[in-house]
Structures are given as structure tokens and as C-alpha cells.
A and B are shown apart, each in its own frame.
Chain A
Amino acid sequence: MTLFRIRNLCVDVPGRRLLHDLSTDIPQGTVTALIGPNGSGKSTLLKTLARQMNGSGSVIFEGRELSDWARQDFARRLAFLPQNMPPAEGMTVRELIALGRYPWHGALGRFGPGDHDAVAGAMLKCGVENFADRVVDSLSGGERQRSWLAMSVAQQAGTLLLDEPISALDISHQVEVLSLLRRMCHDQNRSAVIVLHDVNMAARFCDHVVALRGGRHVFEGTTTSLMQPDALGEIFGLQMQILTCADGTPVAFPT
């Protein structure tokens, strides 16, 4: 099943083309990593998929053209977490996470038991219960990132688009968050597209990889095919060495 069917996608800002004629398919029910060097267009692609930016060409999400989706239906099917989280003045973690229910209850609907359950579940999954009643802006970077992630989880969308969701997390929370995403995708047939910088993390937790370089599509495939010196060399322009751990997981590092 195809989650996103992207054909000839171009994204321009005045004076510059950010994505060049991009065509690829992102599969459903998997964790897809979006990798590439800085400025390669990863965030642009993610924002375009989330309808936060407009491009030319065609993007079909779950069988329907992106622009044909009604706002609320789209937000119920797809949650997007931007890279830079805005300040949430005076808001507690619990209140922030509850905002994730907006697509379901709308501006006026009742915040019902289902909504409460979703919020509680998201807090549990993301491990934010301990500071649920603290003000978001008073938290550490990692705690704040997990709170925002919990908001996206509470949205209960079938697809999560996350822009560097683990950039501020310690290693154990990185593993925890990525495992959570993996579980959610595999057990509940959801999908996630995440921008990641760490290829080893991508290799370990993701099923599918799309790589960009200079706004162009340079690689797509399984993590096994990614973890080859040639593929990594083409993406990052750097000689990489691949070792294999005892359990068979490949690990790449620059030579």
C-alpha cells in the first residue's frame, strides 16, 4: 500500500528552488526515515506533505490528492510536528497535549471520555506524566520535545510526520521514542515519516529510507540497501565504513 505517491514535485521560494522534480512512493504501515545533508530539502518535503507549504506537481495521500482533503479530515489522518516548537506561553503539558484533540472535537465539540483517554494514553506512551502539570516553557529541551510529541500522538492520526523528533533527547529517550513509533506503526498499521540525522538510528528503527541531496531525490530503499558504503557515500559525499554488530545490525561511521 502506498501512503504518499509523489510525482514531479517542485517547491519554490522566491529566487530559489528547494525541491527539484521529486518522485517517490512512501509505503504505508512503516516507519520511513527522511535523511540527507543539511539544506537538502528534508524539512521542505515534510512541510509540503503536511500541506504547510505548497508545491507544483502531484502528491497523493491515501488515494486522494493533497489539496482535495478537507482540513479536519486531513488533521485526523495526519499529524505534523515542526522542527522548531513555538513558545507555549503559560500552558501546561496536559493542556498542550489536549490541543492534539482539536481535529476530533473541533472548536465547539465536547471534550469527551474518548478525548481524555487519548490524552492519558499519549502521556503514558511518551512518558510525560511526571511533569504533566508543569508549564511547558519551564521544561528542559528533551521534556519539551516529548510533550510536543505526545500532542501529535494524542491526535491519533494514522500518519505522523515528525521533523527531527529526537534532536534534543538523551540516548535512552531516543531509543524509547523511536521504539514507540515503530510499535505504533507495526501494531496499529500506522505510518510515520521522520527526519533523522543519525543513519544508525535510521537503520535500526526504520523500515524504509528516502534520501535527498540538494533538493533532489538520490536514494530510496530498505535500510539494508542504505547501509552500503556506496549509497551512504552518494548521499553524504563522505567515505563511510560499515561494521556489523554481533546481532547483525550494520553500523556506519566515517572513515
Chain B
Amino acid sequence: MIELKHITKEYSSGEGRTLALDDVSLTVRDGEIFGIIGLSGAGKSTLVRCINLLERPTHGQVFIDGEELTAIGRKRLLLLRRNIGMIFQSFNLLEQRTAEGNIRFPLEIAGVKRRAAEARARELLELVGLSEKAESYPSQLSGGQKQRVAIARALATGPKYLLCDEATSALDPATTDSILQLLRRINRELGVTIVVITHEMRVVERVCDRVAVLDSSKIAEEGEVSEVFSFPQSEIAKQLIIPELIRSAEGGGGKKLRLVFRGESADRPIISKLAIECGVAVDILYADTKRIDGKAFGHMVISLPEDGEEKVKKFLEGQKVSFKEEI
């Protein structure tokens, strides 16, 4: 379990102070994939670096499995870092080492014998599907391959945790998907707890169990992904999750309802039924369906005629469709 308690990080530059994190507390449970999403400059990267103390928080405490990282000595910290792998947006591979050499690197630091390290590296290359690239240098690999090597390298010492700092932001959508699938597999098969930092909604949708939304150095919202996605409370979460919806809801007059379809309600023709049973004409302003965790999940914004409001709400309640009035 990773626990961050009242983390504050201040940077003092020549002119003044910048508050990168402002009293942030969160808990990452064992075995889950936890997402931290926010716009650039929200403090995501600083936050993830506070977990393994690449950045030392100005105030606050970091606990890993109950041990306070912010209170231990340097030697112990270096040792504990072997239990927390990390991957990066720009991969950060050693350019002068082969793929295999890169994966051996953390093992060399941990003092593993050369032969054992080689065997482990081969094993990991196989896990990430790059066995035939063992002798390739990073300059000979594509972005997706580089990130796979980086993942293998991060897992070399058998860590319990894996931190991903915008790990897919430099990759195209197809490669992003394959990397996300790999992360999901690592989570399921090896039981590695993963923290994912991203500004891409689809990354959270695809792999995360829970998510925290970070906005101007603070946590704006936190919860199960399906919950936060259905009813984003904070302005920033709405902006990130349903940007088109916000825009469409802003224009035009009349009453607007935002409907959220989850599970089976997403598979039924609710709107046709509504039109027939209530005898009202609804105007669809926005609609979107996604699959999150294998379940259909939809958003719709409809505009209502003045007189049909009560009827429609009653009908929707009967159909067990969640809705919320917008503006």
C-alpha cells in the first residue's frame, strides 16, 4: 500500500515560490491500477516523484507498506527503491547499452551476479515480447519497443510497485493500446500495483481501477473510475471526461438532462422508448459510448420540451437510467 499524507511541494526560484503540490493525500491499494489524471502543470509528475522520493516533499509523509519513506536514511531508501519500478514518457534508456544491457542495469546495481542477471534479462525480454531484440541498441528500436524494454528494466528487480509517468504520451494510439494491455497483464499476472500518471482520458478508461483528478496542485476528485466517469463532480473532471458535453451544454436554451448509461441500460433503446411512451420529442445534443472494464458506458445530453419534464424524469427513473440536470 502506498500512502501519501498531506504532501506539499514548494519550489523556490529566484523570484518567488511555486506551489507544485498543496496538501495532497491519497492511498493506493495493493493490486490495483491507480490513475492520476490532470492537465499539464497540475503537479502530476511532481506527485509521482514524491512516491519514490525522486522529489522530496516540502511537508508531508510518504508510506510504503507502512514504512515511512520520508523518515528513513539514504541507504535504506536506495534499497526500497528497488521495490518501486518506474517508467517514463521519454523511455530514458541507456543509449550506449543494448536492450539486454539496459535490463541488466538495475540488477548490476542490486549486486546480482552477471550470469543470473543475464538469465533474468532474457526472461523479461520474453515477457514483454522482445526476445529477438536482446542485442539491439535503443536507437534501433521503435517507441513502443523502447517502452517495452523500459518496462522490462523496471520489473527486473521484481518490484511490488510500478510508477508510470506519462508512459504512453509519446506513442501513437495503437502502440499506446498494446503498452496498456501489457501493463494490465503485468498487474493481473504478476500482481504488481501500478500508478499511472497521464493527461489522456483513454488511458484511465482502459486500465485504471481508481482515479484521482489533480487540478492546480490539489486533488479535485477521487474514486472508482466508473463512478468518476459517470458523475464527475469537479469542474476539471467534467472538462477532462466530457469536454464536448460541456461545450454542447453551454449553447442553446431549454432544460437539459445528462443521462448516464451503464451496463445493460446502455444496450437498450432507451430514447426510442422514451419518445414512444412519453410522447415527447427530445433533442440529442451529445452522445458517446465507450467500453470501460468490458462494460458499455454512455453519456448523452438531451434537451427537453417545457411540458414533458416530469414525465421524462419518471420514465428514466423507471428504466434505472441515471441522470442529472445540467444548467
A binds B: no
Which residues of B pack against A, CB within 8 Å? none
